[in-house]
A and B are shown apart, each in its own frame.
Chain A
Amino acid sequence: MRRPIDRTGLLWILGLLLVPLGAITISLRAGSMDMSWAQLFHLLQQGPGSSVGQAVLWKIRIPRTLLAGLVGAALSLSGVTFQAVLRNPLADPYLLGVSGGAALGAVAALTIGINSAPLVSLAAFGGALTALAIVYLVARAHTCSSHTLILSGVMVGSVAAALLLFLLWRAPTEATRQAIFWLAGNLSLADPGWLGWGWGWVLVCFILLWSQAVNLDLLTQGEETAADLGLAVGRTRLILFALAGALTACAVALAGLVGFVGLVVPHICRLLWGPAHRLLLPLAALFGACFLMVADAIARSLYAPAEMPVGVVTALLGAPFFLLLLRRRGGL
């Protein structure tokens, strides 16, 4: 069943090298400051330094590109996982109360006057994982159906949203404004010092998730069939939720609620490369990273020096692309 690598295979591999390279250069070149190719290569060679060009490239654009890649990869991986485990095409990283929990954590921190980016990130991170844990316990997810799990998630999310509104109602206007930006998703808030940690976290989660690729395949067949095939369904589901939750929490902590990536990138990748997870997971991570890098580049440069919310671009870019693919392939 193994086929030799033929010409189409080579083209795919070439594409897989060129697309990320293209996305990275687009992301590095986009911004208020015009940067020619020559300048870009020159500045890259120079390394970090104190000139304005060096500062723009090394202190602003490279961290930003890395952050977009990190968040895009994390959200796509999490979306792939949730859609497979819940067997629901509408599932996204934020479905199981994760977004509500993270937002509540971050806004709670903001309203009590904590404003350092790392601490807000930590609060969001904690909120996301707490919400997921509550959903898991409430639904007794070891044995429940995916419908129960989704409903529990929506309920926990609603409670979090209500508490969030209450906090914002009580909060000073400054915190509210910051919270709104945070809720809309924003790649400029993160402390660059956390990038390394974030990448490490996502990489570890990815490797663990990839090792579960076949288990994910089995779970898409439904809980009973998966059990018939010998999968310890409850335990596997817990592991997968923990990993997807950890990825979402990381993305949310660093960039707020960037919408649409985790919903649509998995679908696009499945349409392009099929549902088998050992291939789908790495490709979705790669594609998600490229997608958000490009979307962020557009958000930064379209009205430069002003910056658009990146969520606007992800939705406006992703939805038509997805619909186009859907029409050409004739269905999911």
Chain B
Amino acid sequence: MIEAHSVVQTLTTIRSIGRLTGHQPQADALAADIDQRIQAIRQQIPQDYSPTILPCIVLQPLTVAGPDTFINDLIEIAGGRNVVPAGPARYPTWNFEALLLANPDFILLSPHPGQPDSNRFFAPWNQLKAVTEQHIISINADWLYRPGPRMILGIEALAKTLHPELKIDAPTD
């Protein structure tokens, strides 16, 4: 069984699977490519500015991702800070009060069937920076929550959103 809770672990996993299935060269190349693109982002991210972000898994009830999660790793690589503190639950339920208090620069979510419309959902809360600055961002869930090669797409999309000045090509669906 292979488990991956972080980007580094995922890269190791890609290499191991390549070795085990006899595709070592391809796997190494894939991992190296991802690693290289991550380094490129890291180098360009400004040291003095790291916007806060709230990763929402589900809107109703508001369920968010804590520090001990894969998505948290992606956020940090992309030069953001997760506002969710460590707690007894890895994916805790929040209420709007916690949200108002945390007041993140960005609210991150993924479009899902069966979810309320996110703009309408957050619209009444104009005390939130993310709402007034229209920083409610939506990124494909497959790029954010699956520890696999597509995670680099998620990282790049996130990085470009948090730091529009980066010289990378933001992927599109």
Contacts and interface: CB of A to CB of B under 8 A. Distances in A.
Q: Quick check: do A and B touch in the complex, using CB within 8 A?
A: yes
Interface of A: 31-33, 50-52, 55-56, 59-61, 64, 110, 113, 115-117, 172, 174-175, 177-178, 181, 186, 188-189, 300, 303-307
Interface string B125-138: 11100000000000
B87 A306 contact: yes
A117 B94 CA distance: 17
B15 to A, nearest CB: 30
A31 B97 contact: yes
Contacts, number: 92
A192 to B, nearest CB: 10
A61 to B, nearest CB: 7
Interface of B: 58, 60-63, 84-85, 87-89, 92-98, 100-103, 112-116, 124-127
Secondary structure call for the B interface: loop
A110 B112 CA distance: 13
Given A52-B127, A174-B115, A181 B93 contact: yes
What 3 A-B pairs come out closest when comparing CB atoms? A305-B98, A306-B92, A174-B114
A65 B128 CA distance: 23
Given A59-B96, A60-B95, A305-B102, 10 more contacts: A31-B97, A50-B127, A52-B103, A59-B124, A60-B96, A174-B114, A305-B84, A305-B92, A306-B89, A306-B94
Contacts of A305: 84-85, 92, 94-95, 97-98, 101-102
Given A52-B127, A55-B100, A307 B92 contact: yes
A306 B97 contact: no
Contacts of B124: 59
A88 to B, nearest CB: 33
Contact of A115 (B60, B84, B85, B87): B60
Contacts of B89: 303, 306
A281 B102 CA distance: 42
Nearest to B58: A177
B95 A56 contact: no
A303 B95 contact: no
A51 B97 contact: no
19 contacts: A52-B101, A55-B125, A115-B114, A116-B116, A172-B113, A172-B114, A174-B113, A177-B58, A181-B93, A188-B62, A188-B96, A189-B61, A300-B95, A300-B97, A304-B98, A305-B94, A305-B101, A306-B94, A307-B93
